[in-house]
Amino acid sequence: MGTTETGIVSGRLSPAEYDRNFSDLHPSLDEHEALVASDRCYFCYDAPCMTACPTSIDIPLFIRQISTGNPIGSANTIFDQNILGGMCARVCPTETLCEQACVRNTAEHRPVEIGRLQRYATDIAMRDNVQFYERAEPTGKSIAVIGAGPAGLACAHRLAVKGHDVVIYDAREKAGGLNEYGIATYKTVDSFAQKEVDYVLSIGGIEIRNRQMLGRDFSLNDMLSKHDAVFLGLGLAGVNALRAEGETAAGVEDAVDFIAALRQSETKSDIPVGRRVVVLGGGMTAVDAAVQAKLLGAEEVTICYRRGKDNMNASEFEQDLAASKGVTIRHWLQPKRILTRDGKVAGIELDYTALEDGRLVTTGETGVITADHVLKAIGQTFEADDLGAIALQCGRIVVDAEGHTSLERVWAGGDCVLGGEDLTVSAVAMGRDAAESINRALAAATQPVVAVA
Ligand SMILES: Cc1cc2nc3c(=O)[nH]c(=O)nc-3n(C[C@H](O)[C@H](O)[C@H](O)COP(=O)(O)OP(=O)(O)OC[C@H]3O[C@@H](n4cnc5c(N)ncnc54)[C@H](O)[C@@H]3O)c2cc1C
Ligand code: SF4
């Protein structure tokens, strides 16, 4: 039975409603559906879908393998480029990547369902615990990977395949990074993130040390003295401040913390949510927080974004998903002041905004939305102590085309680097490519020196 209580409370829904609301958004295709979906592919030469994939998976090949009844071979094709292909199949915004580029994506036709086909093949291989990779002969080299998110895991796996020993250090309780603590619950059900971590680790040669934080429990110099190379996959641990009066009132919460708590909850019934929720921001985090607040039983959920619809980082698909779940999205509104009663959120006053000569300005008009819960999703920031002399720009780590930082023997990838796209699949691509670069550098360093007469 639901509750009509106002304020931020847990248990607004019945157990059955929680189960229904947080079930799989796009359940796996069955065999027949996969064969029908794969049959729509033209197996293009020079396939544009493949170019649009940050990990360059051979999409026509893996779809052909499904269509010929070989899902295991298909999974092998996917994992060769992207060992986290299972998670990417669930979370990639395919509508702006491979499926947008698909030649079948026309006014009359839908694109080939590349994401769902990828999930079909990888789910079968993981379910049957099919192992595709063996480690090369041990090289005797050891690499520290700091951060067990998609970038760190992809880097560690590729290094382990090459025969190196890897130690992953991560600040949190569990490995997986935002796959475990950030991705919306309905995109990754049944502890899939942990199952995928186990699958990645089953290659051997990778040790994970949790609750180990760079800058608190060890330094970069410690790592450089213990290991032959270091990879930084630190993600974005900080959040931007609202800089609006009342920000510290009870009921104002970071959207990433709200989502992390939700992801760690077994039943969801223990996660408190307001009756009227305002989410500030225009990206994927804002949409995920808003949709999940609604699914937790909030009555009214409004996303306020300071620019127009076309400027939102959340894709069209995400925006439609929010609308379909009853979330209202309002544009050209920027927070001015959190209104409080007895120290608790009672509403939010917002400035109307507009573009003037390309600059965002407030128009002088304001409006108020009643709310008891305000979720801030206004962007994350890179936070890391103890990076020594590593060059940063715009608050992120500068790397070259191979992921090498300005410091010798230190590479980086994923959200923490400048130019990252803040997508799971891009983090995987950067981690994998940095591993190849580390492997080349270590191999070059062990080449015998040839004396020149
Ligand atoms: C709410 C939310 C929803 C998202 N949804 C999607 C989505 O649907 N699809 C999509 O493609 N992308 C999504 N993203 C983006 C995606 O999750 C990230 O781009 C991706 O996780 C980046 O991977 P990463 O390995 O660089 O960093 P992370 O996943 O953030 O992992 C970084 C790891 O480093 C660890 N760490 C941090 N600092 C330290 C330290 N000092 N010492 C030791 N360890 C440390 C952290 O504990 C963490 O495990 C979402 C992001 C958020 C915030
Ligand atoms: S672009 Fe579309 S039709 Fe062509 S190979 Fe890729 S998925 Fe198949």
Kindly report, residue by residue over 400-409, the tens digit of the pLDDT: 999 999 999 9
Structural domain contains residue 19: no
Q: Is 147 in the pocket of ligand 1 (CB under 6 A)?
A: yes
Q: Is 89 in the pocket of ligand 1 (CB under 6 A)?
A: no
Domain that residue 273 falls in: 240-378
> What beta strand segments (E) does 371-425 contain?
373-376, 380-381, 392-393, 396-397, 410-412
My answer on whether 276 and 163 are in the same domain is: no
Q: Is 95 in the pocket of ligand 1 (CB under 6 A)?
A: no
| Residue burial 186-203, b: 16+ Cβ < 10 Å; e: rest | bbbeeebbeebbebbbeb
Q: Which amino acid is at 187?
A: K
CB–CB of 345/338 below 8 Å? yes
My answer on whether 332 and 368 are in the same domain is: yes
Q: Is 326 in the pocket of ligand 2 (CB under 6 A)?
A: no
In eight-state DSSP terms, residue 358 is: T
Q: Summarize pLDDT for 214-244 with one digit per residue, the tens.
A: 999 999 999 999 999 999 999 998 888 888 8
Q: Select from 318, 272, 327 the least CA-distant residue to 296.
A: 272
CA–centroid distance, 160 to ligand 2, in Å, is 32
Structural domain contains residue 450: no
My answer on whether 215 and 181 are in the same domain is: yes
Q: Which DSSP string do the residues of 415-453 spell out, in sequence order? A: GGBTT----HHHHHHHHHHHHHHHHHHHHHHTSPPPPP-
Q: Summarize pLDDT for 233-283 with one digit per residue, the tens.
A: 999 988 888 888 999 999 999 999 999 999 999 999 999 999 999 999 999
**Boundary of a domain, candidates 336, 353, 378:** 378
Q: Select from 285, 302, 322 the least CA-distant residue to 368.
A: 302
With a cut of 80, say whether residue 453 has pLDDT above it: no
CA–centroid distance, 228 to ligand 1, in Å, is 25
Structural domain contains residue 4: no
Residue with tokens 């992921």: 403
Structural domain contains residue 175: yes
The total number of structural domains that make up the chain: 3
Q: Summarize pLDDT for 46-94 with one digit per residue, the tens.
A: 999 999 999 999 999 999 999 999 999 999 999 999 999 999 999 999 9
Note if the pTM is more than 0.85: yes
My answer on whether 412 and 430 are in the same domain is: yes
- Return the SS3 of 12: coil
**Boundary of a domain, candidates 354, 378, 402:** 378
Q: What is the CATH number of the domain that holds 427?
A: 3.50.50.60
Q: Which amino acid is at 453?
A: A
With a cut of 70, say whether residue 397 has pLDDT above it: yes
pLDDT at residue 1, rounded to an integer: 40
With a cut of 70, say whether residue 2 has pLDDT above it: no
Q: Strand 396-397 and strand 392-393: pairing? A: antiparallel
My answer on whether 111 and 40 are in the same domain is: yes
CA dihedral 331, 333, 338, 340 (to 10 degrees): -70
Q: What average pLDDT does the segment 436-447 reach?
A: 91
> What's the token pair of residue 434?
């940095």
Q: Is 111 in the pocket of ligand 1 (CB under 6 A)?
A: no
With a cut of 50, say whether residue 148 has pLDDT above it: yes
pLDDT at residue 446, rounded to an integer: 77
My answer on whether 320 and 434 are in the same domain is: no
Q: Select from 151, 158, 152 the least CA-distant residue to 135.
A: 158
My answer on whether 339 and 212 are in the same domain is: no
Q: In whole angstroms, what is the distance from residue 359 CA to residue 95 CA? A: 29
Which ligand 2 atom lies nearest to the CA of residue 111? Answer: 2
My answer on whether 372 and 265 are in the same domain is: yes
My answer on whether 426 and 334 are in the same domain is: no
My answer on whether 355 and 245 are in the same domain is: yes
pLDDT at residue 180, rounded to an integer: 97
Q: Is 66 in the pocket of ligand 2 (CB under 6 A)?
A: no
Structural domain contains residue 52: yes
Q: What percentage of the chain exceeds 70 in pLDDT?
A: 97
Distances (CA, A) of 377 to 282, 287, 315: 8, 9, 15
| Atom 2 of ligand 2: nearest residue by CA position | 102
Q: What is the CATH number of the domain that holds 108?
A: 1.10.1060.10
Q: How far apart are the first and last CA of the chain?
A: 87
**Boundary of a domain, candidates 378, 400, 432:** 378
With a cut of 60, say whether residue 335 has pLDDT above it: yes
Structural domain contains residue 88: yes
My answer on whether 249 and 227 are in the same domain is: no
The residues facing 129 across adjacent strands are none
Q: Is 47 in the pocket of ligand 2 (CB under 6 A)?
A: yes
Structural domain contains residue 24: no
My answer on whether 399 and 358 are in the same domain is: no
| Atom 37 of ligand 1: nearest residue by CA position | 234
pLDDT band at 6 (very low <50, low <70, confident <90, very high): low
Across the chain, what does the average pLDDT equal?
Answer: 94
> What's the token pair of residue 35?
């064969």
